[in-house]
Amino acid sequence: MSKFALLVFVISVAARGETFSLQIASAVASQSFRLKSSAFVFRSVGCADPAKMDVVAKAEGRVNGQRRTVPLKTVNAQVPGVFGVYREWPSDGVWIVNLAAKCADASAGALVAVGEHGPNREASKFLPRVASEAEIDAALRELGAK
């Protein structure tokens, strides 16, 4: 995306007053060869200054009945506010990626189900806040039941 297009995007976001949220996609959406092997990419919607957004990513899982948490690194694409998440969690058990983001005073979260070929939007949940432990447990139970 060119700087001009980015500026237009930022202005239009501010003008429309979109709610701050996260959007996920397969790695190809980042348009960055550096992120091509990421498990998925995400970006903010409704954040006036994506470059200053704070994000935290964790893999939350249940392996042999035990809850596990693996902190994940988020890798910046060239476009501000676009990040890649790599598969750094074990292959056994059931896992989701818990994204927590802050833009100025607004928060957003997502519980992302990741399949073999990228994120599964239908099985993921998008929240106007950081996900609670209960929501993470419920999401893991739901995934485990499938």
Contact footprint for another protein (CB under 8 A): 1-2, 4-5, 8-9, 11-12, 23, 25-29, 31, 33-38, 43, 73-75, 84, 86, 88, 117-118
> Quick one: DSSP state of residue 50?
G
For another protein, the closer of residues 23 and 135 by Cβ is 23
Cβ at position 93, least distance to another protein in Å: 18
Nearest Cα neighbor of 127 from 138, 141, 118 is 138
What's the CA gap between 86 and 4, in Å, rounded? 30
For another protein, the closer of residues 33 and 105 by Cβ is 33
Cβ at position 1, least distance to another protein in Å: 6
* Phi, psi torsion values for 34, nearest 5 degrees: -65, -30
Cβ at position 11, least distance to another protein in Å: 8
* Phi, psi torsion values for 17, nearest 5 degrees: 60, 40
Cβ at position 103, least distance to another protein in Å: 18
Nearest Cα neighbor of 83 from 27, 12, 143 is 27
For another protein, the closer of residues 65 and 71 by Cβ is 71
For another protein, the closer of residues 74 and 135 by Cβ is 74
For another protein, the closer of residues 8 and 104 by Cβ is 8
Cβ at position 20, least distance to another protein in Å: 16
C-alpha separations of 124 from 53, 76, 95 in Å: 21, 22, 12
Our measurement of the distance from residue 30's CA atom to the centroid of its chain's CA atoms, rounded to an integer in Å, reads 13
